[in-house]
Every structure is written in C-alpha cells, then in structure tokens.
Amino acid sequence: MKIALISPAGAMHRYNGMFHKGLHYAPITLALLAALVPQELNAEVKIYDETAEKIPLDTDADVIAITCITGTSSRCYRFADYFRSLGKTVLMGGVHPSLMPKEASMHADAVLLGLGEKTFPQALMDIKNNCLKPFYYGDGCGDIANRPLPRKDLLKKSKYITLNTVEAVRGCNHTCTFCAYPAAFGQRVITRPVEDVINEIKSFKGKEVIFPDVNLIADTKYARELFTAMIPLKKWWFGLTTTAIGHNDELLNIFQKSGCKGLLVGFESVNQETQQGINKGVNRVHEYKELMDKLHRKGIMVMGCFAFGADEDHKDVFERTVDLCIKAKIDLPRFSIITPFPNTEFYRELESQGRIIERDFAMYDVEHCVFKPQNMSKKDLEAGIAWAWKEVYSWKNIFRRLDLTKIRTIKSIYMLVNIGYRKYAKGFEIFGAEVMSDNSDIPVIKEV
C-alpha cells in the first residue's frame, strides 16, 4: 500500500503565499499519522504539506489522506474529487470534516471524525480488508500516552524554521464561543506523560522546542511538573498560554528556569465587554501592560493575538489596539477577524440573526469578514485590519515595541520575526475573494 498524507493550504499560507519559512514550524498531525500506520501494511508513506511545497497531482499513492480545516475545505474537496476520479481511495479528517461530516462525505470515501489516533489505523486496515466504512468516530480528545514518535523524517526540513515541535497537552479548559476546537474535538483536557514528552525532546537536534498545544496551562499541576522536568535540558522553548499565566508567579518562575523564551497569548480585544461575550473572562484588559512587563522581566517574548469584529467594536478599535500594542510593547502583534466557524455557538448565533453573508468557506481564514458586523461595515472591518497590520509593523513601531531593557538576549529573534510579519502586512490586501477561492491549479475531471 502506498499512502500520501496531504495538508492543503489557503492562498495566504501556501508555499507561494505570504507565510515563508521564518513564520512557520513543522506540523505534528501528518507526521504523527504517518507513525501510526500499521506495520503489517508494509506501507510506503509520503507527506505533502502545502505550506511548504506543492502537492503533486501525479502521485502514485493508492490512498490519499487529507487533513482539512474550514478555510481550506473547498481546496481539500477539489483535491479529493480529483484523486477519486483517478481511482484512488480518499480519507478525510480534521476540524472541518468533524464539524461538517455529511458535507465532507460527498468528497471522500471515508470521513474520520474527531482525532485520528485510533480511527486512521483502523480505516487503513479496513481498506486492506475491503470493508471501509463511510464514517469513523474518534473518542473525545483521545489517548496520547505511549505513542510512537512523529515521522518528522518525512517532512522537508529546509522548509521550516524548525522541526522541533512536540505535543504535551490536548484540549483547553476555556469555552470561547468562536473556537472550533471544542465543537470538533470536545472539551476534555488530557495530558501526555511527562516522561514521554521529555524523551521526545531529548531526541531533538538544536536548542529550540515549540509546543503548538492550544493552552499549556490548562492543567497547572501538570505544567509545573513538565517544565520543572525540562530545566536540566537547557532548551529554549515557545508555546501557547492564556493571560492567566500572569497570576501564577510560581509557574512563571518555572517557565523562566526551564527556558521559556516566547509565548503566544490570546488577548482577543481591547474591550473588556468583548471578553465576557466570548467567554474569555480570564482576560483583564487593564492588566495587559503589567503582564507584558512581567513577562519581559522574565526574558519572555510575546505574540499577542487580537480579533476584530465583535459587537462591541467600533471604527476606533483598530487605532486603540495598535496603541495598546505599542504602549504595552507587545513583541509580535497578530490580528484576525473573529470568524463564525460552522457548528460553533457563534455561528448559530449569527445565523439566527441573519448576519452570515459569506458561504464560501475559503474566506473563513480569519483574515476576511464573513458576517455583517454590528457597528461598522464589512468594508470598514477589512480595511481596518489591513491598516492595523501595516501600522503596527511599520519600521517606527517595530522599534517602539522593542523592549531592549528586558529581552536583549533574544533581540535577533525579535527582529527576524517582526521583519517576517512586516512582509506579511505589506502583501495582505492582495488576497481578495478571487485569489482566495481560486483552485484552478487542480484539474476538474469530467465524468464520461
């Protein structure tokens, strides 16, 4: 059996788009699935990540397994239809098929709902035994103990800033209304055995480690244990957390000692009312600058994420957000438009109000507006986010945000990634609906 694991990408994030090597790291999903292929199949496995390289149309694989998010779903379906027309068996999984299984089933031989540790190997064995089922159902967040190491050897190392990505925590203890994760995979938080994580990190070459988990402090007891165990490794690590880290000095000290050099933090909004509306009450806007000062004193850089378009946002929100980023010295501001993913609470709310105005899921990439905002027009919202990107990444504001007194040791990283996002900001507006929805590079095979 020959298997091709593919991850299509939206126009912005494709290998020929705006997210170049310096802005993305090696994904875990496909590498892990490759490691879970049953040995008795004696399969030849290849991975094609479209953020890093072109997906070949002439692959000789018998089985095509596609991972799909909402923003890439139309492209995934185009690939799936093409490969099926060539007689290949197509499996499809990921967030979007888990949210919209019936839709996905129109383009795949089998849809894998939830996480795929158990369902993917089972589907492959069923293919071998000619008993493939149309749907496979995962069990919540799944078990992440005692599993094989992801097959990073199948990735193109030169296309990523690092291959050193590792999963430790699955799930999140928050229920943000806009988040697709709990709707697709459930709300259970599970942790991987600390020994497993440490052993995988010991296998990495180089100093850096990236945890792409959605919330590293969802289980604070586990976080203390894990990062205490990391102290002797003398690594530099980067991960995702919430603003709650600012209220846990013990854990923050452990972060510092274990080599934390950067955190992605979801600040979400400069409006406190918005935090309540999206179930992110842990965020306290008046504490943002204090939090940044505290993290910088620990030598930790911050990618601060903000989402525009909430009902409390007026046209001044863009300037207010950029001002906060500068005053609080947020190292890497990142902006998005709050997006109602299908089957989420947020989507159902806007649908009931008749405010969903875009049905093309290619536009659900969190950088385009797909609903009618409350206090501005769609045009205002999209112009505002484009302005915010350009303004915050102007040379003047890059240097105004640089906190040399506290993050001197990682100044080179600061400048490298800021330059990367500056390029992203400058090219942002060329990705309109026509570009985002263009999948003409994938042939349409007409039935005879």
Express each pLDDT in 48-83 by its tens digit.
999 999 999 999 999 999 999 999 999 999 999 999
Residue 244 has pLDDT above 70, yes or no: yes
196-201, Cβ contacts within 8 angstroms, sequence gap of 24 or more: 196/145, 196/146, 196/147, 197/166, 197/168, 197/226, 198/226, 198/229, 198/230, 198/233, 200/149, 200/166, 201/164, 201/166, 201/230, 201/233, 201/235
How high is the pLDDT of residue 448? 32
Classify each residue of 43-71 as buried b or exposed e, where b means 16 or more C-beta atoms within 10 Å of its C-beta: bebbbbbbbbbebeeebebebbbbbbbbb
Average pLDDT of 171-186?
Answer: 75
Instruction: Give the integer Cα–Cα distance in Å for 238 and 255.
Output: 10
Are 30 and 43 within 8 A, CB to CB? no
Are 308 and 338 within 8 A, CB to CB? yes
The residues, ordered by sequence, that sit 6+ positions from 391 with a Cβ below 8 Å of its Cβ are 322, 397
Classify each residue of 252-267 as buried b or exposed e, where b means 16 or more C-beta atoms within 10 Å of its C-beta: bebbbebbbbbbbbbb
User: What's the length of the chain?
Assistant: 448
Q: Which residue has the higher pLDDT, 420 or 142?
A: 420
Instruction: Give the integer Cα–Cα distance in Å for 45 and 60.
Output: 11
How high is the pLDDT of residue 345? 85
How high is the pLDDT of residue 21? 59
Are 45 and 150 within 8 A, CB to CB? no
- Both structure tokens of 78: 């185009």
The residues, ordered by sequence, that sit 6+ positions from 318 with a Cβ below 8 Å of its Cβ are 308, 384, 385, 387, 388
How high is the pLDDT of residue 395? 96
Cite the DSSP H helix spans in 46-169: 73-85, 95-99, 101-105, 119-128
The residues, ordered by sequence, that sit 6+ positions from 248 with a Cβ below 8 Å of its Cβ are 217, 220
How high is the pLDDT of residue 380? 97
Average pLDDT of 324-345?
Answer: 94
Instruction: Give the integer Cα–Cα distance in Å for 115 and 93.
Output: 8
Are 362 and 71 within 8 A, CB to CB? yes
How high is the pLDDT of residue 447? 54
Residue 269 has pLDDT above 60, yes or no: yes
pLDDT digits (tens, 9 = 90+) for 26-35: 899 999 999 9
Average pLDDT of 271-299?
Answer: 91
Output DSSP code: residue 315: T
Rg (CA), the chain: 22
Q: Is 329 left (phi over 0), alpha (psi -120 to 50) or beta?
A: left
Angle (nearest 5°) at CA 105 between 140 and 445: 140
Instruction: Give the integer Cα–Cα distance in Å for 27 and 212.
Output: 9
Are 428 and 389 within 8 A, CB to CB? yes
H-helix or E-strand containing 349?
helix 345-352
Output DSSP code: residue 368: S
How high is the pLDDT of residue 446? 65
Q: Report the share of the chain in percent with pLDDT over 70.
A: 96
Q: How far, rounded to the nearest angstrom, does the alpha carbon of residue 187 sit from its chain's CA centroid?
A: 17
Output DSSP code: residue 53: S
Q: How far, rounded to the nearest angstrom, does the alpha carbon of residue 225 sit from its chain's CA centroid?
A: 25
Residue 255 has pLDDT above 50, yes or no: yes
Min mean pLDDT across 286-295, 339-348, 405-414, 421-430 is at 405-414
pLDDT digits (tens, 9 = 90+) for 103-127: 999 999 999 998 888 999 999 999 9
How high is the pLDDT of residue 277? 83
Burial class (CB in 10 A: 0-12, 13-18, 19+), 320: middle
Residue 176 has pLDDT above 80, yes or no: no
Give the amino acid at 22: G
How high is the pLDDT of residue 168? 95
Residue 18 has pLDDT above 80, yes or no: no
pLDDT band at 408 (very low <50, low <70, confident <90, very high): low
How high is the pLDDT of residue 71? 95
Q: Which residue has the higher pLDDT, 196 or 23?
A: 196
Instruction: Give the integer Cα–Cα distance in Å for 349 and 367.
Output: 20
Instruction: Give the integer Cα–Cα distance in Å for 224 and 230.
Output: 10
How high is the pLDDT of residue 172? 78
Angle (nearest 5°) at CA 57 between 56 and 62: 95
Instruction: Give the integer Cα–Cα distance in Å for 320 and 140.
Output: 40
How high is the pLDDT of residue 20? 66
